[in-house]
């Protein structure tokens, strides 16, 4: 067993760390406060090759491995989990999905600009009445000549307002249930396609989350991903991959909680000494550090298995389940170590807790991860 990273992986990790510190950190508190989308930061991430990290150079991607992607995601999310999710959706759900299942036309037209970071993607599966039970799609698409006509509503869509290209799942044959669901690429600006207002969220406030509405939205036949009727299998396969992205985001938040709490404990004095010298604080930090390491190892294992061409469904679900729990525990303990200071914006740790919560919900709740793991057992 080899726990060493390659030179290239270390270089990518360092690049992500420096970028996060210099370009993302300075505006993170303000963007969180104002729920402001990081447009310029996303553009620069694209220039670095971080928006299409695992896409082959043939399709204008950076051609990096999954381990590098996880390392970069951790560094970015450690500084700003909102930027982390924008990057994760574009990389693991949208680009990976189009690279694996898109036709030549789709790859040429949509994947290339997405991988270059010139365009942004969104993944639209959830609906007002189809969240965890994703087979219950009410959005429909019917054929009219050489076009598909989409009608319906999607909910909780990350990058919902800012995206250019949307992967949309719709029911094309109700009789066939999940075998009658099809995935399409829908372009922003297509007549009848609109987004709702940005949700006013607890955390990851700098990313935008919206509903989408489709009113007789006409999409050409060549925008069908994979095949008619394969949309549900497509979404399930792609979400397996998305889950190590969200696990990386959670690891980033957990590491940030640990490092911020450790630093504070070495500065803050109580009862005549730095609070780090009190065993109560040491025990908390030791527990946090152990859990962060375990969470990171689970996530890297899932990434390593993907790179090795192995099946990683169970491992990705385990990583997401565990890392999101650890991130919650670490953010909570970081606030406790900070005492009253942990409860105000200036000290960052309250944001870690707010940002963390969603990692237990999106791309499959913790309860859904347990179902996936149990089925794989
Ligand atoms: N990987 C691959 N295929 C899978 C799969 C998996 N993890 N889970 C199910 N499938 C396949 C099955 O093999 C089956 O395929 P066939 O019919 O071809 O054999 C098909 O899907 C249906 O499976 P089930 O009968 O088991 O379906 P189910 O309804 O009992 O359960 C579920 C499926 C796992 C609970 C699924 O509905 C699920 O994953 N729900 C969670 C949805 C989710 O993650 N939503 C996140 C939204 S996206 C998001 O959050 C992005 C964002 O913006 C950040």
Structure-token match 């969603």, residue found? 358
- Identify which of 200, 208, 211 has the alpha carbon closest to the alpha carbon of residue 139: 211
* Segment 290-305 mean pLDDT: 98
Residue 310, classed as helix, strand or coil, is: coil
Q: How far apart are CA 3 and CA 72, in angstroms?
A: 17
> Per-residue pLDDT tens for 358-377?
999 999 999 999 999 999 99
**CB proximity list for 159: less than 8 A, separation 6 or greater:** 86, 89, 90, 120, 121, 122, 207, 208
pLDDT of residue 345: 87
> Per-residue pLDDT tens for 165-211?
999 999 999 999 999 999 999 999 999 999 999 999 999 999 999 99
Q: How much is the mean pLDDT over the chain?
A: 97
Verify whether ligand 1 is closer than 6 Å to residue 239 (CB atom). Answer: yes
Verify whether ligand 1 is closer than 6 Å to residue 365 (CB atom). Answer: no
pLDDT of residue 346: 84
Ligand 1, residues 181, 209, 317, 364: which to mutate, most atoms within 8 A of Cβ? 364
* Segment 110-126 mean pLDDT: 98
Verify whether ligand 1 is closer than 6 Å to residue 134 (CB atom). Answer: yes
Q: How far apart are CA 41 and CA 33, in angstroms?
A: 17
242: pLDDT confidence band, cut at 50, 70 and 90? confident
Which one-letter DSSP state was computed for residue 127?
B
> Per-residue pLDDT tens for 5-25?
999 999 999 999 999 999 999
Atom 44 of ligand 1: nearest residue by CA position: 364
Verify whether ligand 1 is closer than 6 Å to residue 321 (CB atom). Answer: no
Annotated active-site residue in 118, 346, 363, 367: 363
Backbone angles phi, psi at 303, to 5 degrees: -65, -45
Strand duo 165-171 + 121-124: pairing: parallel
Q: Active-site residue 329, yes or no?
A: no
Cα(251) to centroid(ligand 1), Å: 24
Verify whether ligand 1 is closer than 6 Å to residue 371 (CB atom). Answer: yes
* Segment 322-350 mean pLDDT: 96
Verify whether ligand 1 is closer than 6 Å to residue 178 (CB atom). Answer: yes
Count CA atoms closer than 13 A to 85's CA, side-chain side. 27
Ligand 1, residues 126, 236, 377: which to mutate, most atoms within 8 A of Cβ? 236
- Considering only CA atoms, give the Rg of the chain: 21
Atom 46 of ligand 1: nearest residue by CA position: 363
Domains of the chain listed by start with CATH number: 7-120 (1.10.540.10), 122-229 (2.40.110.10), 233-376 (1.20.140.10)
Cα(236) to centroid(ligand 1), Å: 4
Sign of CA dihedral 43, 113, 310, 247: positive
Q: What number does the ligand 1 atom closest to the CA of 239 have? A: 44
Verify whether ligand 1 is closer than 6 Å to residue 89 (CB atom). Answer: yes
* Segment 297-317 mean pLDDT: 97
Verify whether ligand 1 is closer than 6 Å to residue 190 (CB atom). Answer: no
Residue 50, classed as helix, strand or coil, is: coil
Backbone angles phi, psi at 32, to 5 degrees: -65, -45
Q: What number does the ligand 1 atom closest to the CA of 156 have? A: 53
Other beta carbons within 10 angstroms of residue 366's beta carbon come to: 16
Residue 340, classed as helix, strand or coil, is: helix
Torsion angle in degrees (nearest 10) through CA of 16, 19, 24, 25: 90
pTM: predicted TM-score of the whole model, two decimal places: 0.97
Cα(247) to centroid(ligand 1), Å: 18
Structure-token match 């270390």, residue found? 10
Strand duo 273-274 + 269-270: pairing: antiparallel
């Amino acid at each position: 067993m080899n726990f060493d990273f390659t030179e290239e992986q270390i270089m990518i990790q360092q690049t992500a760390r420096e970028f996060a510190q210099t370009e993302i950190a300075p505006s993170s508190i303000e963007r969180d406060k104002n729920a402001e989308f990081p447009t310029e930061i996303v553009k620069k991430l694209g220039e670095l090759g971080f928006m299409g990290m695992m896409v082959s150079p043939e399709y204008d991607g950076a051609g990096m491995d999954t381990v590098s992607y996880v390392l970069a995601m951790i560094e970015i999310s450690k500084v700003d989990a909102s930027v982390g999710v924008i990057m994760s959706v574009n990389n693991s759900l949208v680009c990976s999905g189009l690279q694996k299942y898109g036709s030549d036309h789709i790859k040429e037209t949509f994947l290339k600009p997405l991988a270059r970071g010139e365009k942004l993607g969104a993944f639209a599966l959830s609906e007002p009445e189809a969240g965890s039970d994703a087979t219950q799609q009410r959005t429909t698409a019917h054929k009219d000549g050489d076009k598909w006509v989409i009608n319906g509503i999607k909910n909780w869509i990350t990058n919902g307002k800012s995206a250019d290209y949307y992967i949309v799942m719709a029911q094309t044959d109700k009789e066939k249930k999940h075998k009658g669901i099809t995935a399409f690429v829908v372009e922003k600006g297509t007549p009848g396609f609109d987004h709702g207002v940005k949700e006013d969220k607890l955390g990851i406030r700098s990313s935008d989350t919206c509903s989408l509405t489709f009113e007789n939205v006409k999409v050409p036949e060549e925008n069908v991903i994979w095949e008619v009727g394969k949309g549900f299998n497509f979404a399930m396969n792609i979400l397996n991959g998305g889950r190590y992205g969200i696990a990386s985001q959670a690891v980033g938040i957990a590491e940030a909680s640990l490092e911020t709490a450790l630093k504070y404990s070495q500065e803050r004095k109580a009862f005549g000494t730095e609070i780090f010298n009190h065993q109560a604080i040491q025990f908390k930090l030791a527990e946090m550090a152990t859990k962060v390491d375990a969470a990171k190892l689970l996530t890297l294992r899932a990434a390593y298995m993907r790179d090795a061409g192995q099946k990683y469904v169970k491992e990705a679900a385990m990583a997401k389940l565990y890392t999101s729990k650890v991130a919650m525990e670490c953010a909570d303990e970081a606030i406790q170590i900070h005492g009253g200071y942990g409860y105000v914006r200036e000290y960052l740790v309250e944001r870690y807790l707010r940002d963390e919560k969603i990692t237990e919900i999106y791309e499959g709740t913790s309860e859904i991860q347990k179902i996936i793991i149990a089925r794989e057992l």
